[in-house]
């Protein structure tokens, strides 16, 4: 039985590694997700077998009833949630997933301390330092991940203000709370019989999660989500050491490492350090709509009917999607319009910025849902060198990721952030509901460039109007 369990865990671990590798590329992401899901199925099977092995001839329904109940409840919640969630709410769902992973690790740590039939004191008398340390880490990191992810969810869902919550001496207070949690870890490892330390450590972990995320503004939530994803993996890894489960250790390490890598990628895409994201309070949604230091000029509105004449003659068009496309659920209309452009002899590309939307990969998921060909998706580094050769750039709800101030205005709060150089295209159409600023709360001088035109309204309706114009011309 032991050999079979080891083999199942080994295959599950390989599935997780392969799945993670395939998730790194757009055209293999779906396959990677399926392989990872199969790996999780094997992990559950292996866990059942391990429980059976532990109880031997004493095995009964009572030994696994809570696992079965949990699986049924999770299935009842998970399937409808996955099918009914809107694409605009996907970042919030990912934030909740991270939080659930954190609380699961916290509960594993608690169960390891309080589930022994001979009592906590007897268990503590023979528990080794590594086990005690990893239990505390599972609780500490899991608690931070849980409450931090809940705050991220609340900010993304606008249940609370997306503005940074700041007060004098905030970093000092947070540092003191963190030091108290670390001191609690030392005391617990030295004398695990002090259960009050374990309780206080749990409370401090939950407080730290709130304290760390509440000062971060809405525009930085993509970084927070990837960071919390990493934390959930580290918590799982610690829990794996605590319960001596090699698969949990491996999986947690993979998630933790990949989350840190993704966080680093996101920070580079914003030209920010992680410390700056966590402690600066930048990124307030709904913040000041301050203008660029340069004279802005006047925005030029254009109707979809007039835009048609330019697009009808275009030989190359680049779509630059942002959160506004998710809000309008315009991805399918964009794909239909792109197909019409291609039939008209136009080359179509989709330029996706790493932090477009409100979570890593948000726009990629939207475009994949609309069956956009993977080879038409281009990264920022690939499209920028040839942007001046594009006839038209269509910016759909994106704002900060195409803001020229990041390149031109040293006084701008986003100066130095790598952007998609949409303004270099021969003509730029900006699809927005209004002239409002983006999630970073600053005005965008792209709206006032000589080659830029504003097409106001819902992005989906605008796309449908352009589709209608093309179809009318074809019918004629």
pLDDT tens readout for residues 407-432:
888 887 778 888 999 999 999 999 98
Q: Do 457 and 395 fall into the same domain?
A: yes
Do residues 285 and 439 lie in contact, with contact meaning Cβ atoms separated by under 8 Å? yes
Q: Are 154 and 251 within one domain?
A: yes
Residue 330: phi, psi to the nearest 5?
-95, 0
Q: pLDDT tens digits, residue range 329-363? A: 899 999 999 999 999 999 999 999 988 877 778 88
pLDDT score of 368 more than 90: no
Residues 207 and 156 in one domain: yes
pLDDT bucket at 118, cuts 50 / 70 / 90: low
375 among known catalytic residues? no
- Check if the beta carbon of residue 202 is closer than 8 Å to that of residue 135: no
Q: Is residue 98 part of a domain?
A: yes
Same domain, yes or no: 218 and 358: no
For the four alpha carbons of 120, 43, 129 and 176, in that order, the dihedral sign comes to negative
Is 135 within 8 Å of 242 (Cβ atoms)? yes
- Kindly state whether residues 387 and 443 are assigned to the same domain: yes
Question: What pLDDT band is residue 440 in, cutting at 50, 70 and 90?
Answer: low
Confidence of residue 439 (pLDDT cuts 50, 70, 90): low
Q: Is residue 7 part of a domain?
A: no
In whole angstroms, give the CA distance from residue 76 to residue 134.
32
Whether residue 43 lies inside any domain: the answer is: no
The answer to whether residue 345 sits within a structural domain is yes
- Cβ(157)–Cβ(110) under 8 Å? no
Work out the number of other CB atoms within 10 angstroms of the CB of residue 316: 17
pLDDT, greater one: 68 or 102: 102
252 and 318 inside one domain? no
Number of structural domains found in the chain: 2
The answer to whether the CB of 396 falls within 8 A of the CB of 325 is yes
Q: Dump pLDDT digits (tens) for 23-41.
A: 877 778 889 999 999 999 9
Q: Would you mind telling me the total number of residues written for the chain in this entry?
A: 476
Co-location of 257 and 111 in the same domain: yes
Strand partners, 455: 431
Asked if the structure places residue 225 within a domain, the reply is yes
The last residue of one of the domains, among 279, 296, 320, is 279
Q: What is the pLDDT of residue 287?
A: 40
- Asked if 241 and 228 count as a contact pair (C-beta separation under 8 A), the reply is no
Phi and psi at residue 313, to the nearest 5°: -100, 0
pLDDT tens for 135-172 read 999 999 999 999 999 999 998 888 888 778 888 888 88
Q: Which residue has the higher pLDDT, 457 or 1?
A: 457
Judgement on whether residues 188 and 141 belong to the same structural domain of the protein = yes
Of 279, 314, 340, the position where a domain reaches its end is: 279
Per-residue model confidence (pLDDT) at position 286:
41
- 389, 371, 450, 385: which is closest to 420 by C-alpha? 385
* pLDDT value, residue 280: 58
Q: Which pTM was predicted?
A: 0.78
Question: Are residues 165 and 214 both part of a single domain?
Answer: yes
On whether residue 287 sits in a domain, the answer given is: no
Strand order in the sheet with 452-456: 377-379, 347-352, 316-321, 392-396, 427-432, 452-456
Return the CA Rg of the chain.
Answer: 26
Residue 444 belongs to a domain: yes
Q: Is residue 424 part of a domain?
A: yes
Place of tokens 């239990």: 135
Based on the domain organization, do 271 and 398 belong to the same domain? no
Percent of the chain with pLDDT over 70: 91
Domain boundary among 241, 262, 279: 279
- Are residue 91 and residue 212 in the same domain, yes or no? yes
Domain that holds residue 236: 85-279
Same-domain status, 269 and 347? no
Q: CATH number, domain at 421? A: 3.40.50.1220
Q: Catalytic one among 339, 375, 382, 400?
A: 400
Q: Where is average pLDDT lowest: 76-80, 114-118, 212-216, 391-395?
A: 114-118
SS3 label, residue 91: helix
pLDDT for res 289:
41
């Amino acid at each position: 039985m032991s050999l079979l369990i080891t083999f199942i865990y080994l295959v599950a671990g390989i599935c997780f590694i392969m799945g993670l590798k395939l998730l790194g590329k757009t055209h293999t992401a779906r396959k990677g997700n399926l392989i990872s899901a199969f790996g999780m199925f094997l992990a559950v099977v292996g866990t059942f077998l391990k429980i059976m092995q532990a109880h031997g001839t004493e095995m009964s329904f009572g030994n696994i009833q809570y696992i079965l109940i949990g699986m049924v409840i999770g299935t009842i919640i998970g399937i409808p949630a996955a099918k009914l969630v809107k694409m605009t709410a996907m970042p919030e769902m990912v934030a909740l997933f991270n939080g659930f992973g954190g609380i699961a690790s916290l509960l594993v740590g608690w169960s390891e301390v309080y589930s022994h039939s001979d009592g906590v004191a007897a268990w503590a008398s023979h528990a080794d330092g590594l086990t005690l340390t990893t239990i505390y880490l599972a609780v500490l990191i899991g608690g931070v991940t849980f409450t931090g992810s809940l705050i991220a969810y609340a900010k993304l869902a606008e249940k609370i203000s997306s503005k940074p919550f700041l007060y004098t001496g905030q970093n000092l207070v947070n540092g003191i709370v963190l030091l108290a949690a670390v001191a609690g870890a030392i005391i617990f490892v030295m004398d695990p019989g002090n259960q009050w330390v374990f309780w206080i450590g749990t409370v401090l972990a939950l407080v730290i999660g709130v304290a760390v995320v509440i000062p971060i503004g809405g525009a930085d939530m993509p970084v927070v989500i990837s960071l919390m994803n990493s934390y959930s993996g580290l918590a799982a890894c610690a829990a794996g050491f605590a319960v001596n489960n090699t698969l949990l250790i491996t999986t947690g390490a993979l998630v933790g490492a990949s989350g840190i890598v993704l966080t680093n990628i996101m920070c580079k895409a914003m030209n920010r350090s992680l410390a700056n994201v966590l402690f600066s309070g930048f990124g307030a949604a709904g913040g000041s709509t301050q203008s660029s230091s340069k004279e802005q000029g006047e925005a030029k509105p254009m109707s979809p009917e007039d835009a048609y004449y330019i697009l009808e003659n275009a030989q190359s068009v680049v779509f630059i999607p942002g959160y506004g496309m998710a809000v309008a659920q315009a991805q399918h209309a964009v794909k239909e319009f792109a197909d019409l452009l291609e039939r008209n002899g136009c080359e179509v590309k989709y330029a996706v910025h790493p932090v477009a939307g409100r979570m890593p990969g948000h726009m990629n998921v939207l475009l994949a849902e609309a069956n956009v060909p993977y080879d038409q998706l281009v990264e920022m580094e690939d499209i920028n060198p040839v942007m001046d050769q594009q006839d038209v750039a269509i910016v759909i709800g994106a704002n900060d990721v195409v803001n020229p101030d990041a390149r031109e205005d040293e006084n701008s709060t986003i100066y130095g952030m790598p952007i998609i150089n949409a303004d270099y295209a021969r003509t730029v159409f900006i699809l927005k509901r209004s002239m409002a600023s983006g999630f970073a709360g600053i005005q965008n001088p792209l709206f006032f460039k000589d080659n830029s035109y504003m097409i106001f309204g819902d992005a989906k309706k605008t796309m449908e109007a352009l589709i209608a114009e093309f179809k009318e011309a074809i019918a004629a």
